[in-house]
Amino acid sequence: MQFTRRFTTSGAAPFGALDFRFASSEIRNPDGTVVFQAENVEVPVQFSQVATDIMAQKYFRKAGIPAKLKRVEESSVPSWLWRSVPDDAALAKLPEDERFTGETSTKQVFNRLAGTWTYWGWKGGYFTAEEDARVYYDEMCHMLAAQMAAPNSPQWFNTGLHWAYGIDGPSQGHFYVDFETGKLTRSASAYEHPQPHACFIQSVNDDLVNEGGIMDLWVREARLFKYGSGTGSNFSRLRGEGESLSGGGKSSGLMSFLRIGDRAAGAIKSGGTTRRAAKMVTVDVDHPDIEKYVDWKVVEEQKVAALVAGSKLAQRHMGEVMVACQDETLDGEDRFDPRKNKALKKAIFAARAVMIPENYVQRVIQFARQGYTEIEFKTYDTDWDSEAYLTVAGQNSNNSVRVSNEYLQAVLDKGDWELIQRRDNGVAKRIKAADLWEKIAYAAWACADPGLQYDSTINEWHTCPEGGRINASNPCSEYMFLDDTACNLASLNLMQFRHADGTFDIPAFEHACRFWTLTLEISVLMAQFPSREIAQLSYEYRTLGLGFANIGGLLMAQGHSYDSDEGRAICAAITALMTGVSYATSAEIASEVGAFPQYNKNKKHMLRVIKNHIIAFVWVRFQIEQCFANLGIPSVPAWCTTAALAFTIHRAVRVGEVKLPTSHSNRFKVSRVIIKSRKIMKKSNGNMQPFLIVL
């Protein structure tokens, strides 16, 4: 592949157009105690204090960086891309406490990321010439430093530690597919192949201890959490409470195992930092334990409320009982006798009125008899990271219910809904669909969980159904694909593509989309994964996720409300541009190194989905919704036939070889929009404002 410069200059340093400064970073607890502190952190001038703190606390490697390095020669790799290792001879000459340190400059981080991507990209044959690799490296460094785009957190945590510093360690049980041989291989080290993927979907079988089962899932999740990744699973294969076991007993049910997984996730800090592990739990709406699952977090939230209110009431009233026992106007035992001590009697009645346990009231009086004048009782608060929330279950996962079109129709029809046993597919219970729907709605209102995943629609838009159904998602639900696959993400910062006059730099945005699509592709090539299945399927499908951030900031800066036709039009146009460029880049990559191995099996499905995207975003305008292919519920019209969108749709059609419907009138209308879009695109020189005026 060939690359051209847009942000950098040939022969100049990749950061040459940017200024840097030295800053301090300090993070404190609410009580004022210092959690983290770093001085003389080198960051780009435009970095905010928040960005500086995140980089210094979360993404800088804190230890193990050799003070002296040397290059490892590789005959097939340009010398400027050779990886580095500790220079043991030079290190031996330094005092022991000066031999290893941590990262202190963002330039170090940007270099290890962009350098690693370029190194593996070169080895994978993605660059036509060495100059193309150099252009790619420089442009990626610039985009990182200018906050134009960013990869997901595991890239910041892990990518480049081996390439830039020679950091390594024993294998952690990971696997990868060798891109040269196509063979599944067990990783020999911890960092040579990094774990750059943030989003995982893992299967779990109804088995307690064997590979692929419940306890094995906790181990696989731990491997992911340790390196900063998140994972989601559909637990609907697990038997419901009371279902029979092969040994003759009864299953303890889904919820007992979800509590174990929740505790395991809570014990691990993602990427070794203070961020919590990211975990998604999904359960089908026909599971026998669905009602208990829906109520789970509601009940746990009520426990927190009880802990907070109860602890503060107990502290208050027990203190009042203790104070009443100190009445010096009474002699001896009279102070501790409520029949003679009116203040004590009043305090006891007040404590009983708010349900303070009687044994606690009597314990305070006994303490007072022994000469104590104060009593401590720990109180709790509702801070999300407080001990109250650490005490209850269900706080380390996002919970979702998987609903089908059949269930939603049953809700509308006020019909019955059957909960199905996992072992024999018998009916465990028959409930009113609307009652369960009300329970879900109340739970979401009360504690923000569970969310909904629309199973039928998700699978109707599935690009690779030959590999199986989509059953679950990653923790944030932007990645929905096959079980035992992974996706690495990157986001483009839309505000960095906005000109001072309010226009949007479309050519720069398209340029960035192409570079970052390749970056995500290279990240699949270089990655290792926590299980054989994920390594194999990620190689066979090569899923990647390109998105954007700051759409809200862009709309506000443009003077458009978030919930407006104009806002939706801008968002749709930008999304179409990004999607079209990414599809085109994917086709370009395939022309160089071949399509992903499972493409041919799924080609017709992929083209069907592309066709439905075209219909959803353009052709609905011409009242031809009947052209949707295999959709139970037609897409909602976007009403966004901007020139940018039509231009990108044309590109998607060309790249995807989509055959359009044969209606001449419809062809004429769509072609007219595309031709007009080209003229406007040329006339506007990539300025988005004329596109919005055309609307």
pLDDT value of residue 662:
34
Task: Pick the catalytic residue from 74, 205, 405, 476.
Answer: 476
Is pLDDT above 50 for 218?
A: yes
Residue 656 lies in a domain: yes
CA geometry: angle 404, 410, 415, nearest 5 deg: 150
529 Cβ neighbours under 8 A, 6+ residues apart: 174, 175, 176, 195, 197, 486, 535, 538
Task: Pick the catalytic residue from 39, 131, 466, 478.
Answer: 478
Tell me the C-alpha distance between 593 and 1, whole Å: 10
Q: What Rg do the C-alpha atoms of the chain give, in angstroms?
A: 30
| pLDDT averaged over every residue in the chain | 87
Task: Pick the catalytic residue from 474, 550, 602, 612.
Answer: 474
Active site residue 476: yes
**Sign, Cα dihedral of 99, 105, 111, 114:** positive
Range of 628's domain? 578-695
Report pLDDT digits (tens) over 361-394: 999 999 999 999 999 999 999 988 789 998 999 9
pLDDT value of residue 623:
52
Domains in the chain, number = 1
Report pLDDT digits (tens) over 86-102: 999 999 999 999 999 99
Is pLDDT above 70 for 461?
A: yes
* Spatial CA neighbour of 112 closest among 135, 88, 81: 81
Residue 634 lies in a domain: yes
Tell me the C-alpha distance between 120 and 593, whole Å: 14
Active site residue 474: yes
Residue 609 lies in a domain: yes
673 Cβ neighbours under 8 A, 6+ residues apart: 618, 641, 646
Is pLDDT above 80 for 407?
A: yes
User: For residue 106, what are its two tokens?
Assistant: 């963002």
Residue 18 lies in a domain: no
Is pLDDT above 90 for 265?
A: no
Given a contact cutoff of 8 angstroms between Cβ atoms, the answer to whether 44 and 106 are in contact is yes
Residue 541 lies in a domain: no
Could you give phi then psi for residue 44, rounded to 5 degrees? Answer: -60, 150
Residue 554 lies in a domain: no
- Token match 């330039």: residue? 107
Report pLDDT digits (tens) over 576-598: 889 889 988 998 999 889 999 99
Residue 588 lies in a domain: yes
pLDDT value of residue 692:
31
Q: Which amino acid is at 46?
A: Q
Residue 695 lies in a domain: yes
Given a contact cutoff of 8 angstroms between Cβ atoms, the answer to whether 282 and 235 are in contact is yes
Q: What is the pTM of this model?
A: 0.84
